[in-house]
Structure 1
Amino acid sequence: MRAPRVGVFGLLGSGNLGNDGSLEAVLGYLRAEHPGAAVDALCGGPEIVKSRYGIPATRLHWYSGEYRTASRAGAIAAKGLGKLVDVFRTAAWVRRHDVVIVPGMGVLEATLPLRPWGFPYSLFLLCGTGRLLRTRVALVGVGADVIRDRPTRALIRWSARLAAHRSYRDTLSRDAMRTMGVDTARDQVCPDLAFALPTPAASGPSDGAGLVCVGVMDFHGSNDDRARAEEIHRRYLDGTTRFVRALVADGRPVRLLTGDSCDAPVVASIIEAVDSPLVTASVAGSLEDLMKETAAADAVVATRYHNLVCALKTGTPTLALSYAAKSDALMERMGLGAYCHPAREVDADRLLEQFRELEKQAGELRQVLAERNLAAQAQLEDQFAALTRTLFKKAVGKTASQEVS
């Protein structure tokens, strides 16, 4: 039997470090367990994926302005044409593969602003053509949440139903898909794929006045908060800025972390407002870089989901500025459920109280995180083994029998 042809699909190489970290984890699994597999990508940033990961990559959308707001008639027409062209482009790409993997990411949720004709439509095309062409599509370690918008909900539900394999990064995600009408009886729950990445060595805690990493986000609420988006953003930015200013007043150096290229204006606003040499900005280009940052810190306060993952994975005491239930679920799973603060209503004084309590318990929390990380790694090893059993052997066996016949 020949080696499998494997495609990876998603908003990869588009500036989101969490998405790329999930891809990196899956590529590590493929190279270890299926070293002969021919791997390529259909993704948002093909040039980045090619240069960083050394695999062929194709642009996800035919129309290059897919994620720009279309206001002129020509742009609107081009977007509409692009949706039609992408049906055939996606089908042609899917046909070339035995297996397509959607690696992690919150592909079944709308916890951030999302339009149904954007990525939900692309995911539906992938899963639908996979079913028609008998290419097995696997949603591996993905995030999900109950979606209220009817068109988006329908596209997400049918994408999940048409996939050949589903696993989720938390129980919350599996329960959400069950609520939306998907049979999840055989679906697995496992830790986020980023927990499978190598962990850098921690420098260990300082004398109590060391570095604090603060992960920030261009946060405007969820898909259901569009009418209040600017109000939510102002409240988040003001509360986070006041918290950073309080840390600096205590003489603490602060390192600002991001997880997406769109977060840069938030970093710039905080640095300008606090105006202190104690506040610096990270230039991390990967989850590995983020983990090195969090491993060097005494404590982390973070908003983006994969900022939390990186901090928890390195065993650093962490407080979540939680913008969605997935953050609360992650913190609970890792034994830090008491250390969550709502991102929609950041109260700098209360946040500072929680942070000081976190540092008081730092020694105990580091031990808890060490134990939870060992369990997460074992669960991911089991998931990858199950993926090989249920996906690759069937796909390659099917192809080999077709070639013989």
Structure 2
Amino acid sequence: MTSADQTPVRVGVFGLLGSGNLGNDGSLEAVLGYLRAEHPEAVVDALCGGPEVVATRYRIPATRLHWYRGEYRTASRAGAIAAKGLGKLVDAVRTAAWVRRHDVVIVPGMGVLEATLPLRPWGFPYALFLLCASGRLFGTRVALVSVGADAIGRRPTRALVRWSARLATYRSYRDALSRDAMRAMGVDTERDKVYPDLAFALPTPPTSAPSGPPGPVCVGVMAFHGGNDDRARAEEIHRRYLDGTTRFVRVLVEDGRPVRLLTGDEVDRPVVAAILDAVDSPLVTAAEAASLADLMKQMAAADTVVATRYHNLICALKVGTPTLALSYAAKSDALMAQMGLAAYCHPAREVDAGRLLEQFRALEQRSAELRRILTERNLVAARRLQHQFTSLTAALFPAIDHAHAHALREVP
């Protein structure tokens, strides 16, 4: 509740949310948890990729991010190209009007300052720039919270990302690698902090150490085609990734291990189908996951996890299951090092089933030790994220709001 003379703070959340990527939605869920706990009086809505999903699942009003619904489809016909161009102009007006209605806008996590996967400058980078420029124009505080960043080679994308970061009111990064990348791109990061990924603030399902004979292995797959600079050989990279992963799954099955295939985005489903078709065995099954909570439940029940998507790795590490990363970007290596598993990374571009199997067996031999290490690292991550939420309140909300939030915490 707010006092009669106090207007509730208006908070917007922004990003490719509700679009099928479970990691993005997990970051949103973590920020909504923070807002509901610390600022229950705040009025929250979203400007996002999947407004219907966000409104239904998270019970907040949501507006579509792009006016043109075919924004992320390749435009080849003249009509589609014209519609995309018109959409850029319309989005500039729509974004400015939406930002102006808010006191605070939060971009919750996600790799919004990176181009480790194929990305066009006039897609999301342009949308983020519109957001941050509108915030500066209208005095709306824009926060990039625990976001990912990486060095960007292409000039248009790099310029949009750099200016978005410069125009934001608050910036924090999910690893030191991201902060270093923004500094290298010309952003003053002197006051920027590094905190764990927001997904580490989500509730953890009950877990238990395995007992008895070797149990199930979760394999998280990805529709991996390389990065933004790999477009010319994207199909070759994908075939090598799929072939190596399939060979690895086949060996596990030959050893009698149950394998559970997991995804992290709707676009990963064809990879699951291809592996199921190639490894025709009742020991290989696929799990339907609608959230990071669903993924964590699956991974908590496994002896070991081998995963590609960044937030698949986070889910496995968060529940304390020994994990091997099929790493497609430096952020995965940084995460594994942060959690004490730096030795268990394997390049997604060059999946060697034999070498991967050797790493997998070495990982399982240290299972009990690694579970203890992960328990300790998770406690540290949770404490650091709580510190970030305290800092976020001080940076974004008027003094009256965080005094009010403190009073609420004092109520028994």
Q: Which TM-score tier does this pair reach, normalised by the shorter chain?
A: over 0.9
Q: Which residue of 1 aligns with 2:349?
A: 344
Local SS of the residue matching 2:397: helix
Residue deviations 1:36-95 (CA, integer Å, cap 9, x gap): 100000000000000000000000000111111111111100000000000000000000
Residue deviations 1:175-205 (CA, integer Å, cap 9, x gap): 0000000000000100000000000001321
What is the alpha-carbon distance in structure 2 between the residues aligned to residue 150 and residue 171 of structure 1?
23
The alpha-carbon deviation at position 396 of structure 1 amounts to 6.5
The alpha-carbon deviation at position 3 of structure 1 amounts to 2.3
Q: Which residue of 2 aligns with 1:147?
A: 152
1:231 maps to 2:275: no
TM-score, normalization: structure 1?
A: 0.97
Q: Which residue of 1 aligns with 2:221?
A: 216
Note closer, same or farther for the CA distance 1:219–1:395 as it changes in structure 2 (3 Å cut): farther
1:11 alignment partner, one of 9, 16, 19: 16
What is the alpha-carbon distance in structure 2 between the residues aligned to residue 179 and residue 112 of structure 1?
20
What is the alpha-carbon distance in structure 1 between the residues aligned to residue 149 and residue 285 of structure 2?
34
Cα contact 2:39–2:401 (8 A) shared by 1: no
TM-score, normalization: structure 2?
A: 0.95
What is the alpha-carbon distance in structure 1 between the residues aligned to residue 41 and residue 401 of structure 2?
12
Residue deviations 1:204-246 (CA, integer Å, cap 9, x gap): 2132410000000000000011111111100000000000000
Residue deviations 1:97-139 (CA, integer Å, cap 9, x gap): 0000000000000000000000000000000010000000000
Note closer, same or farther for the CA distance 1:281–1:185 as it changes in structure 2 (3 Å cut): same
What is the alpha-carbon distance in structure 2 between the residues aligned to residue 390 and residue 8 of structure 1?
16
List runs of 5+ in structure 1 lacking aligned partners: 398-405
List runs of 5+ in structure 2 lacking aligned partners: 1-5, 403-412
Code of the residue aligned with 1:336 in structure 2: it is: L
What is the alpha-carbon distance in structure 2 between the residues aligned to residue 212 and residue 133 of structure 1?
51
Local SS of the residue matching 2:180: helix
Local SS of the residue matching 1:223: coil
Runs ≥4 residues deviating over 4 A = 394-397
Provide the aligned C-alpha RMSD in A: 1.0
Code of the residue aligned with 2:69 in structure 1: it is: S
2:127 alignment partner, one of 97, 118, 122: 122
Cα contact 1:102–1:138 (8 A) shared by 2: yes
Code of the residue aligned with 2:384 in structure 1: it is: Q
The alpha-carbon deviation at position 394 of structure 1 amounts to 6.2
1:375 alignment partner, one of 348, 371, 380: 380
Code of the residue aligned with 1:135 in structure 2: it is: T
1:5-404 equivalent positions in 2, closer than 5 A: 5-393=10-398
Cα contact 1:45–1:59 (8 A) shared by 2: yes
Code of the residue aligned with 1:339 in structure 2: it is: Y
What is the alpha-carbon distance in structure 2 between the residues aligned to residue 352 and residue 392 of structure 1?
50
Cα contact 1:40–1:56 (8 A) shared by 2: yes
Percent identity for Structure 1 against Structure 2: 79
Local SS of the residue matching 2:285: strand
- Deviates most, 206-215 or 313-322: 206-215
Code of the residue aligned with 1:87 in structure 2: it is: A
Code of the residue aligned with 2:211 in structure 1: it is: S
Code of the residue aligned with 1:106 in structure 2: it is: G
Cα contact 1:99–1:395 (8 A) shared by 2: no
Code of the residue aligned with 1:239 in structure 2: it is: G
Local SS of the residue matching 2:143: strand
Code of the residue aligned with 2:343 in structure 1: it is: A
Local SS of the residue matching 2:257: coil
Q: What is the number of residues matched between the two proteins? A: 397
Cα contact 2:144–2:168 (8 A) shared by 1: yes
